[in-house]
Chains A and B, each alone.
Chain A
Amino acid sequence: MNLKEKIIEKIFLLIALSSITILALITFFIFEEGIPLILKVGPKAFLLGEKWIPSKGLFGIFPMIVSSFWVTFGALLLGIPLGLACTIFLSELIPPSIGILLRPAIQLLAAIPSVIYGFWGLIVLVPLIQNYLGGPGLSILAGSLVLSFMILPTIITISEDSLKALPPSYKAGALALGATHWQTIWRVLIPAAKSGIVASIILGMGRAIGETMAMIMILGNAVKMPNSLLDSARTLTTNIGIEMGYASGDHRQALFATGIVLFFIIMALNTLAIFLSRRRVH
């Protein structure tokens, strides 16, 4: 019996390691393809250059880095309050009968393919923005709006899980000490679940930065530095997504190099998530 368990354990370890091997291979390949171009163009010209004209050998991705952050920031600005309010409502305030309906509905949001979000944004949001606010409609504003919906399920499910993981004694104790329900939520439960909530926000941010398909459809993909929320923009992921099909030679390598930048941003985000949530605990 014990032997059998050990064998199973080893098999699972092997499988876990194999997935990491695949990951390592992907990483290696991205770097192997991308680094030569960064060195050829020069890291500064690549990261801070403002012109992306591959046919003329100009590979500056600074506008895309800026756009990525604009779009993500916009999505968080809308997504965090909405997500947290929803979490608090779901886990603390809701009558159980509504919860049965609401929870699967929110989880369904995560199941909708991003191309559907993109299509919806293109057909509904873009004309609205174009008619009422001006500009081409395909804009950072539209992208942020759609992204904020897309990150909701991530924020809600994970932060609700972390609220649920709190020992019931926290709530009981606070209520017993005479705190109102709202005080208990705001002063006791939220601070106690902070690590999970922060993690959920950063994971949502990761999803927002990584989203490609919907953004290709909504952002308009102009390579110019965006000046306002109503300008079209191109993020790092959409740059890869939109030009991948036709790229060859240096151009293709430049797309891999874009991937390297994206890779470091995601690494930094996840490190931040781990660091922040550790600090809150102690």
Chain B
Amino acid sequence: MTKSQVSKTKQISSAFQAALPSPTPPRGEGKVGTTRNRGEGRLGHWVLVFGNYLGFGIWNLGFIFLLLFFLIGVGCQRSKAGITVAGSTSVESFAELLAEEYISRHPESQIYVQGGGSTAGIEAVMSRTANIGMCSRPLMGKEKNLYAVTIAKDAIAIILHPKNPIQDLSLDQIREVFSGKIRNWKELGGPDHPIFLVTREEGSGTREAFQKFVMGKEDIGLEALVQDSNGAVRQVVASNHNTIGYISLGLVNDQVKALKISGVEPNMTNIDNGRYTLVRPFLFVFNEEPVGEAKSFLEFVLSPLAQKLLLKEGLVPVLPKLAQK
């Protein structure tokens, strides 16, 4: 790895110098070659110049071969029977856990779990590159024609740094904070410090749910820091006293503090009795009613055992009996 990287830099440098008139051309160049040879040299020159134009001086034989080997390798792996689950990064970590459990019971099966986002997951299912799509928002438009199963529900927690003295905000206050109307913790009864917002990127299921539940028609302030996963949001909030963000309740740990909303603590009881309202479905999406491996995985996910696992991870199970416990 090290060696190839280094030699790449060297290649760029030599390719570049070849494309430029070298400061000291070797003496006698051009005198020896025949006309035809010089023509070919010029073609080579143009090839290099063109390559450099687009910043792709590194394309070369070895690289292509490497790519080929890699593709062949991937192809061989995938030919082993198995199903692919792709989509929302919010569901991904839970799906990985479920897949591990499932494989430990069915050692002959393979389940590949990939992230990418709710929309990407649905597109992957539609184009049949994935068997199951994970989605962390309600289906929209033509997506509704797909076969979707709610595997669990997830609450969204508004998170702060644990040292932030604020414990409780109303939905209206949270909206004003995220739309940039309230810019200092002082206005909420906290220390005199500017508020740094942390949000998810456009198109994220968590962001869409937050937008729907909290923001309504207001926009999230453009000055908000944008992170591309629940974990990254948590990391930023955990490392800065003045931030506020939102993530899946299941991913809240002791690095951050989940805010009460108008006095309602985000916990199983309050989610179940409907007092905590920031709750969204986690869906498994299929093209049609699943069969074979996909069906047996879905059945496993909906079984009491798997649902109990999800409950332990902080999600709200779809089996009503479990949720009450």
Interface residues of A (CB under 8 A from B): 9, 12-13, 15-20, 22-23, 27, 51-56, 107-108, 110-111, 122, 126-127, 130, 136-138, 153-154, 157-158, 161-162, 165-167, 192-193, 195-196, 199-200, 203, 206, 210, 216-217, 220-224, 232, 234, 241-243, 245-248, 251, 263, 266-267, 270-271, 273-274, 277-278, 281
Contact = CB atoms under 8 A, between A and B. Distances in A.
B225 A220 contact: yes
A54 B202 contact: yes
A182 B158 CA distance: 61
Contacts of B56: 19, 23
Contact of A251 (B9, B12, B51, B203): B203
B20 A53 contact: no
Closest 3 A/B residue pairs (Cβ) = A246-B203, A246-B117, A245-B117
A165 B203 CA distance: 52
B59 A243 contact: no
B248 interface: no
B12 A203 contact: yes
Interface of B: 1-2, 5-6, 8-10, 12-14, 16-17, 19-24, 40, 43-44, 47, 49-56, 59-61, 64, 89, 115-120, 123, 196, 201-205, 211, 219, 221-228, 232, 235-236, 239-240, 243
A245 B116 contact: yes
Contacts of A245: 89, 115-117, 120, 201, 203, 228
B225 A165 contact: no
B225 A136 contact: yes
Contacts of A110: 5-6, 8-9
Contacts of B52: 270, 274
Which of B20, B123, B222 lies at the interface centre, i.e. has the most chain A CB atoms within 10 A of its CB? B20
B203 A54 contact: yes
B236 to A, nearest CB: 7
A238 to B, nearest CB: 9
A101 to B, nearest CB: 15
Given A110-B9, A242-B228, A19 B64 contact: yes
Nearest to A22: B59
Contact of A223 (B17, B53, B226, B243): B226
Q: DSSP class of A's interface residues: helix, strand, loop or mixed?
A: helix
B161 to A, nearest CB: 12
A217 B55 CA distance: 24
A270 B53 contact: yes
B9 A127 contact: no
A245 B239 CA distance: 26
Nearest to A280: B23
Contacts of A27: 54
Contacts of B17: 161-162, 165, 196, 199
Nearest to B5: A111
Nearest to B202: A54
Nearest to B239: A127
Contacts of B243: 136
Which of A18, A54, A248, A251 lies at the interface centre, i.e. has the most chain B CB atoms within 10 A of its CB? A248
B222 A246 contact: no
Contacts of A266: 54-55
Which of A12, A17, A107, A234 lies at the interface centre, i.e. has the most chain B CB atoms within 10 A of its CB? A107
Contacts of A263: 54
A251 B8 CA distance: 34
Given A56-B219, A138-B236, A247-B203, A277 B9 contact: no
5 contacts: A20-B59, A52-B222, A136-B196, A232-B223, A274-B49
Given A199-B16, A277-B20, A246 B55 contact: no
A157 B10 CA distance: 8
A167 B9 contact: no
A243 B202 contact: yes
Nearest to B52: A270
A252 B54 CA distance: 22
B240 A137 contact: yes
A132 B55 CA distance: 38
A143 to B, nearest CB: 13
Contacts of A165: 17, 22-24
A194 B185 CA distance: 54
Contacts of B223: 222, 224, 232
A193 B51 contact: no
Which of A246, A266, A267, A271 lies at the interface centre, i.e. has the most chain B CB atoms within 10 A of its CB? A246
Contacts of A216: 228
Contacts of A243: 201-203
Contact of B23 (A52, A195, A220, A271): A195
Given A110-B9, A245-B203, A221 B226 contact: yes
Nearest to B63: A19
Contact of A248 (B9, B123, B204, B221): B123
Given A108-B6, A267-B54, 17 more contacts: A13-B43, A17-B47, A23-B51, A23-B54, A107-B9, A108-B2, A111-B6, A126-B239, A199-B20, A203-B16, A210-B55, A220-B226, A222-B223, A232-B225, A270-B54, A274-B52, A277-B20
